[in-house]
Chains A and B, each alone.
Chain A
């Protein structure tokens, strides 16, 4: 188990290193560095920028060094919580993001939990009552859920809320709590508003999970040990929980590898559409104004979220499945 953990931890760190290089390349992609943008902006406002100041800034941010060194400086700063400088807000990135990171984590974790909690009973029901009306209905709903892109779903829900109730659902908390320090009332308000985005982001993931759990469980239910168990007179519920469910639940948990990136993707666009107080809308505006350090930090953070999430799920899987912790590797 320890060896497995160590190996997994090492791959995670390596993955993050590669991702950071990738993100850095993306930061550098737009022509010019952010100082040229800054200078252009200052000049357009009619301000003269002294050459000495430019040189000083250039040196301070290491922009006069070769690319690889700049990457080292950026990464080193990142590890120390210095996320770079947002020229759009004229503040260090760390101050700009505020509690958005926390809310993003909350939103994504809640969505993942929602998907598992909803998909599990429905998947089991669909598989054990295959081709019943309930199964057909749920399968159809699932297909619709899979095909409706979540940002369109968000639009439809917002439209319905606007027309039917005359309210706006596009927020993460009551307006009076925005940018205020955390308090119990704020937490309660966030939890109150959380369910709409969670529902919107989670729909397609839930539909996919139901389909997969149903298929896995159906495979297991046809196996001979189930027939044997039934022939020996084991009660149906006990038989299901004791054997096939335990087998089918493994790929269900392992699937988080494909679920997590799509949930994070979905949360970005849904929060941009619904203008939630998470990283999504800010990432969008940072990209639109080419505020690349801010955008890069968000990208890195989102990647970190997925990679760490996958690591945690792998650990969970190793606890569940002795074949993995004894070194067989995950069977996906």
Chain B
């Protein structure tokens, strides 16, 4: 019995990678970096993608506000105060003319003293596209006259009506987007920095630091946000320039928003700091700053960005509410909230309902950010 257990040996050369061989499709999927997995998963959310596109359009528009708006922000048309929205027509008397508006006929109702405008069907005012219109200073720097759309020479074009000084609402909305949409971004940047550093310190060091931070967060979370925002922005010095007030408001909005973010960072860090890779980094002598920033934060950055997206709308709404109440931005700075102050007088709104127009972009933006944030949050964890 020289061979009690006969065994078989394959004569083919041994290849360690044989069993782990993947098909190209599998390889593409398994080897994809995290961001690509997130993108693939995000792409599946139709609503979120649509929301992202709407927001992208909005944000691109604020780069070219001057070109997109038919009029400048503060151009007053004294003959057209509270003019109603004009509608764009294509056919005149059954004949194709191209996009045009009818001229406005103005009458003062002597009994109610209400201004009434009616479409003058004899005046066909064709819109011009890619035209030279009112001069402007692009971002306040470069002079230009090129606009996407202009009214006919000598004619008017108020697609959303005018306000009490005869300023075109549509143009003001387009300019207002510049302020309203960036308030949330700067605010979220402030809150992001605060949230990550405070939450990071609390979660990484734990102990009494954590306890103190937790108490502070609890207190801040138990405070009603809006009255505090109101009080803080009321305390901004009246002598400040509009730009300073703008930054002051964004910082105030960001200052009260960080607790939610800090809490998320802390709870993740508390779990992650016990992981082996973290201990290894510590043993190699990495500083806490490096460990938090380099090894821990990237683990859940996508989550943070998703939750930050969800808190941008509350900041936009905060600015709108503050400006609406007259505590936030003040004219000549124009944001959607500033525009809505015109709608404070409900009698005026009843006569001129187009003063409520700024509501539409506000609600659209808030909805879009909510959908986008929901989609991002789902996609943020592609490995699940």
Contact = CB atoms under 8 A, between A and B. Distances in A.
A156 B340 CA distance: 12
B230 A284 contact: yes
B327 A264 contact: no
A62 interface: no
A299 B231 contact: yes
A15 B356 contact: no
Given A26-B232, A283-B230, A261 B219 contact: no
Contacts of B359: 152, 155-156
Interface in A288-304: 288, 290, 295, 298-299, 302-303
B177 to A, nearest CB: 17
Contacts of A310: 222
Contacts of A213: none
B31 interface: no
B356 A151 contact: no
Interface residues of A, number: 50
A265 B232 contact: no
Contacts of B228: 26, 299
A302 B344 CA distance: 24
B343 interface: yes
Given A31-B237, A287-B230, A15 B219 contact: yes
B363 A264 contact: no
Contact of B327 (A149, A284, A307): A284
Give the interface centre of B346, B349, B359 by most chain A CB atoms within 10 Å.
B346
A19 interface: yes
A59 interface: no
A223 to B, nearest CB: 19
B267 to A, nearest CB: 11
A310 B221 CA distance: 11
Interface in A148-196: 148-149, 151-152, 155-156, 158-159, 162-163, 168, 170
Interface in B199-246: 215, 218-219, 221-228, 230-232, 234-235, 237
B346 A162 contact: yes
Contacts of B327: 284, 287-288
B349 A155 contact: yes
A269 B224 contact: no
Given A283-B230, A306-B222, A162 B366 contact: no
Contact of A307 (B215, B222, B356, B366): B222
A151 B326 contact: no
Nearest to A152: B359
B63 to A, nearest CB: 25
B28 to A, nearest CB: 33
B227 A302 contact: yes
Nearest to B353: A159
B113 interface: no
Given A148-B363, A268-B227, A287 B234 contact: yes
Interface string A250-268: 0000000110111011101
A304 to B, nearest CB: 11
B234 A290 contact: yes
Interface stretch (B35-43, B141-149, B317-325): B317-325
A146 interface: yes
A147 interface: yes
B97 interface: no
B227 A147 contact: no
A158 B224 contact: no
Contact of A284 (B325, B346, B362): B325
B226 A268 contact: yes
A262 B318 CA distance: 12
B362 A149 contact: yes
Contacts of B347: 162
9 contacts: A149-B321, A162-B347, A257-B221, A257-B222, A261-B225, A262-B224, A268-B226, A268-B227, A295-B234
Q: Across chains A and B, which 10 residue pairs bring their CB atoms closest together, nearest first? A: A265-B226, A287-B234, A29-B235, A264-B224, A147-B367, A265-B224, A162-B350, A261-B224, A147-B366, A149-B317
Given A26-B231, A152-B340, 8 more contacts: A22-B223, A30-B237, A155-B356, A162-B349, A261-B223, A268-B230, A269-B226, A284-B230
